[in-house]
Amino acid sequence: MENSRDRTRHTGHHQQFIGGKWLPGSADEVLVDRNPFDGSTVAEFRCASVADVDEAYRSAQRARSEWDGVSPDDKRAVFERAASYVADHTPEIVDIIIDELGGTRLKAHFEIGLVLGMLAEAGTFPLRMDMRTLPSSNPGRENRVYREPVGVVGVISPFNFPFFLGMKSVAPALAAGNGVVLKPHEDTPIAGGTLIAEVFEAAGLPAGLLNVVITEIAVIGDAFVEHPVPRAISFTGSSEVGRHVAEVAVRNLKKPVLELGGNSALIVLADADLDVAVNAAVFSRFTHQGQVCMSANRVLVHRDVFDEFASRYVAKAASLPVGDPRDPDTVLGPLINQRQADRLAEQVGRGIAEGAEVLLRGEVEGTLFRPTVLTGVTPGMSVMREELFGPVACLVPFDTEDEAVAIANDTPFGLSGAVHTSDLDKGVELARRLHTGMVHINDSTIADEPNIPFGGEKQSGFGRMNGDWSLDAFTTVRWISVNRGRARFPY
């Protein structure tokens, strides 16, 4: 693997990966992949056309016959080799994550660790494609229920954790016996696309089983979702786009698997350990510049400790180094592009115009957006209701637990959350009242484990991922009955 700064000199990784071959796209348009920190060109891709998407899906469909004939142990070995390849090439992958998406070194190593965990979990899937025998009310009949792959899965990955969130669907789908076509976000075609193809190519996955198409939606429209071959579409991204993906998928009778946006609340009760709570709240909001769907946009703090918490939170946020993600001391690098930075600045300005009080106003320089903290916000304000995909936090005081629950639940989203208290039973009781898919006691809102159900409620998603839940997402069940007696019929 070559250093990401030199990738444009090579042919393999700024092309499509279709049918086991690196090929240029057949569309006229060119996608320019830029470094979000300095604007330099990381790579250029000739976009995939609708015909390329069609060939990618047909390739995945054809290659499944070879994959079906591979033993579970040999399939597992592919994922073990993939993990070894990632571990062996960690320095180069870190460079890609830094250059392509502005991730810091800390973030890059964190993301690679998540990928390794996901590959290890996926490697167990070939041995979990079980058959069950169920009893029958009809004498002589034996009922068998087989778990089988859905066939081909289309995966659309996001720009914030592209290597991991692409792998989060790709690896389990492949391990469950499916073919896969992956379309990464246009801002991260390498980390979210061609890098994953490279990993599995090196691991010995059958040619054509995994395909990667690099393109713009303006070029292919809804063809990726509408194509007749895929039976499931896994999408990670914004709720607005996810809603459209789901509508198109369901209209074409495909299973949508959606991990969408969030507006998570971190609740600090009066008896919380403030040292832990402040650190958790800062980590929950400012990790990867706040570009995490699980980020704690809203930090709800009991009024008895609000002033002390706010003072410490603002001081810590203000101290976080912002700048070049290649600097190992940098904690906050750039937002993914200027459009995202401008949108976030507009959201902050609108919140202030609506009456929010500024505790910390970070300067904005290009795509660098320094930490900003608001208070004096009310549930109806836009900054409380919209996902703030960047380093902007709202601090909200509350007087009672019922009030905290009401504020936390007053959002169309429901992905993650956290509760800080010295009374663990109380924390769990309060967590169960939150309308969200995941809640963490005395911890960050940002958490993921490869064998634990991950997903949201309301506009934060549809379905669950990881472990048994990913296995369910990318498989179907078939009932086959065997009549060992003599069947009788009424006519």
Say how far apart CA 358 and CA 376 lie, in whole Å: 8
* C-beta of residue 281 within 8 angstroms of C-beta of residue 268: yes
pLDDT above 60: residue 443: yes
pLDDT above 70: residue 75: yes
User: Tokens representing 451?
Assistant: 């064998």
- Those residues with Cβ within 8 angstroms of residue 355's Cβ, 6 or more apart along the chain or in another chain: 376, 377, 378, 381
Single out the catalytic residue among 47, 293, 387, 401. 293
* Type and span of the H or E element at 211: strand 210-212
pLDDT digits (tens, 9 = 90+) for 260-306: 999 999 999 999 999 999 999 999 999 999 999 999 999 999 999 99
pLDDT above 50: residue 104: yes
pLDDT digits (tens, 9 = 90+) for 179-211: 999 999 999 999 999 999 999 999 999 999 999
Q: What three-state secondary structure class fits 371?
A: coil
Whole-number Cα distances in Å, 216 to 32, 148, 190, 220, 374: 11, 33, 14, 7, 36
Say how far apart CA 243 and CA 240 lie, in whole Å: 5
Say how far apart CA 51 and CA 57 lie, in whole Å: 10
Say how far apart CA 129 and CA 118 lie, in whole Å: 18
For 7, counting Cβ atoms within 10 Å of its Cβ (0-12 exposed, 13-18 middle, 19+ buried), the class is buried
pLDDT above 70: residue 353: yes
Q: Higher confidence at residue 333 or residue 485?
A: 333
Q: What angle do CA 264, 268, 274 make, to 5 degrees?
A: 125
The single-letter code of the amino acid at 177 is: G
Mean pLDDT of 230-254: 97
Catalogue the E-assigned strands of 99-205: 131-134, 141-149, 152-156, 179-183
* C-beta of residue 408 within 8 angstroms of C-beta of residue 300: yes
Relative to beta strand 210-212, strand 179-183 is parallel
Closest CA to 412 of 297, 307, 327: 297
> Looking at residue 398, what is its pLDDT?
98
Mean pLDDT of 52-72: 97
Task: Give first-to-last CA distance, the chain, whole Å.
Answer: 69
What average pLDDT does the chain have?
95
> Looking at residue 189, what is its pLDDT?
98
Catalogue the E-assigned strands of 353-430: 357-360, 364-365, 368-369, 372-375, 392-398, 417-420
> Looking at residue 30, what is its pLDDT?
97
Count CB-CB contacts under 10 A for residue 76: 18
The single-letter code of the amino acid at 191 is: A
> Looking at residue 487, what is its pLDDT?
87
- Those residues with Cβ within 8 angstroms of residue 424's Cβ, 6 or more apart along the chain or in another chain: 441, 442
> Looking at residue 8, what is its pLDDT?
36
> Looking at residue 3, what is its pLDDT?
41
User: Tokens representing 217?
Assistant: 């939606």
Mean pLDDT of 128-148: 94
> Looking at residue 468, what is its pLDDT?
97
Closest CA to 390 of 98, 155, 192, 159: 159
pLDDT digits (tens, 9 = 90+) for 336-352: 999 999 999 999 999 99
Q: Is 259 considered catalytic here?
A: yes
Count CB-CB contacts under 10 A for residue 464: 20
Single out the catalytic residue among 111, 259, 386, 401. 259
Closest CA to 381 of 357, 399, 397, 359: 357
Say how far apart CA 158 and CA 165 lie, in whole Å: 7
* C-beta of residue 241 within 8 angstroms of C-beta of residue 74: no
> Looking at residue 488, what is its pLDDT?
87
> Looking at residue 321, what is its pLDDT?
97
Catalogue the E-assigned strands of 376-447: 392-398, 417-420, 440-441
Q: Is 394 considered catalytic here?
A: no
Q: What three-state secondary structure class fits 333?
A: coil
Mean pLDDT of 403-414: 97
pLDDT above 60: residue 258: yes
pLDDT digits (tens, 9 = 90+) for 81-91: 999 999 999 99
Mean pLDDT of 295-318: 98
User: Tokens representing 49?
Assistant: 């056309």
> Looking at residue 103, what is its pLDDT?
97
